[in-house]
Structure 1
Amino acid sequence: MNFDSKYLIRWGLPGWVCILYFIYYLFMIDKLNLSDMSKNASSLIGSFIVVFPLGVIVGYLVYQMYFILLWITSTNELRNIKTLNVIKESNLTRLPEKRDEVYYHTEYMWHKYLVMQEEYKMNYISDRYRHLLTKKHEAGSLLTALVFSMPISGALVTRCIWGELSTFDMYMPVLNVVLILYMIRTYLYYHRNVDYFVAGFLKDMIKNKI
């Protein structure tokens, strides 16, 4: 089975984030001694060999959870509000009543007009659309991994409150919150960018302005 290297980042990064926070937690509660591992080269290499592919597996599961959560929590308006408005204003088709079918129909209309374009136009639009969509989902999966790491951050904060850890040990939980806020902004940027891109091109394609 061919494994594209791009999946190492797409799936690996969210997985490695989750594993990093878990390892950090074990280290902070004295269940893991990194200094001893660093002295033993074979142990360190063995741990890396295990963690590297495990991160990809965990990341893949996080990636799937992201899509499940996105599908459950999103309405059609949140998924593609501008694109949906373009289709409504065109009066070319009647939208289904069911929420999921509205989304499917919107995707159908987008691809229907896309394949009607000249090849060089279709290739450019498709490549740009794929790039934006990939960035959106990468940001979404990383955001999901950071959210999944929050219980560990919460456990560390609780131990700090109990006096088992010092406030100086709280940089990872703080970093967790900062990264979540940053990734929310990043995700929303690409989400809106994809919707604006599709809506703009679909509107022009319907009016034969491309």
Structure 2
Amino acid sequence: MKFDTKYLIRWGIPGWVFLLSILFLYGTYHSSFIKVFSSDPIKLLSFVVAVASIGVPVGYIFHQLYFGLFWVMSKTKGVKYITKHIEGYQRKFPNDVDEEYYHLEYLWQSELSLLEQTKRDYIAERYRHLLSTTHSLGVLGVSLFWSFIVSLYVFKKLEMTFEDRFTYGTIIAGMVVLIFLNYLYYSEKTQAFQGMFLNEFINDKERNKERKQQQN
């Protein structure tokens, strides 16, 4: 069975970020934790391999959490933001946001398939880049958020001073906010991109129909 390495990286990064942020915090306040590995290269190598291996399934779980909370459950916002950019758009399924979202995806793929190759490839590649960036930021934000939550427990176990807790907590919380602001920006940019091109596809087709009818 072939396994695409891009999935290893995609799932691994959020998992590795989560594990390393916790291990960094723990290692900083437990010098013996660092000494054990610095004095034994075999243990260090085994530890790195273990973290790398565990990080992939952990990151995969974060992916599922992200898609469930921020993508699947936010289709209402997505439909509104996409259709907002389509002039005169009438919803096909006004009482079913899931079906409306699937319909928009169908229109998107259907209209792309009718374009000449150069334009189709450009739009598809640009959309893929925006969507991939959106998802990467969303998953990373979920990973850092859980790093912050677990850190609260680690703070208690390590009996850290208030100043150290505040410093480390502020850094992680600030990163979470920054990542999610970037996520919101790219999410809206992706949906606007899709909506504007759908507007071009749909309304240009309607205008061309009207012109032909007028000429006949």
Gaps of 5+ in 1: none
Q: Give the whole-Å Cα distance in 1 for the aligned partners of 2:59 and 2:202.
A: 39
- The Cα shift of 1:33 comes to 0.9
Residue deviations 1:64-118, cap 9 Å, x none?
1110112454241x22433223457234x62352121121112112112111111
- 1:83, 1:196 within 8 Å by CA — same for their partners in 2? yes
1:179 alignment partner in structure 2: 175
- The 5 A counterparts of 1:4-153 are 4-24=4-24, 26-27=26-27, 30=30, 33-71=33-71, 73-76=73-76, 78-86=77-85, 89-91=88-90, 94-153=92-151
After superposition, the CA RMSD in angstroms is 2.5
Q: TM-score, normalised by structure 2?
A: 0.83
Query: What amino acid is the match of 1:173?
Result: G
Q: Give the whole-Å Cα distance in 1 for the aligned partners of 2:104 and 2:47.
A: 47
Task: Label 1:200 to 1:16 Cα distance change in 2 as closer, same or farther (>3 A).
Answer: same
2:84 is paired with a residue whose SS is helix
- 1:201 matched to 2:197? The reply is yes
- 2:85, 2:192 within 8 Å by CA — same for their partners in 1? no
Q: TM-score, normalised by structure 1?
A: 0.85
Task: Label 1:32 to 1:11 Cα distance change in 2 as closer, same or farther (>3 A).
Answer: farther
Paired residues in the alignment total 204
Q: Which segment drifts farther, 8-17 or 187-196?
A: 8-17
Query: What amino acid is the match of 1:144?
Result: V
Q: Give the whole-Å Cα distance in 2 for the aligned partners of 1:72 and 1:197.
A: 19
Query: What amino acid is the match of 1:125?
Result: I
Task: Label 1:48 to 1:62 Cα distance change in 2 as closer, same or farther (>3 A).
Answer: same
Query: What amino acid is the match of 1:165?
Result: M
Q: Highest CA radius of gyration, 1 or 2?
A: 2
Gaps of 5+ in 2: 206-216
Q: Give the whole-Å Cα distance in 1 for the aligned partners of 2:8 and 2:81.
A: 33
Residue deviations 1:142-187, cap 9 Å, x none?
0111112222222245568xxx212236543222101101101110
Identity, % of aligned positions: 32
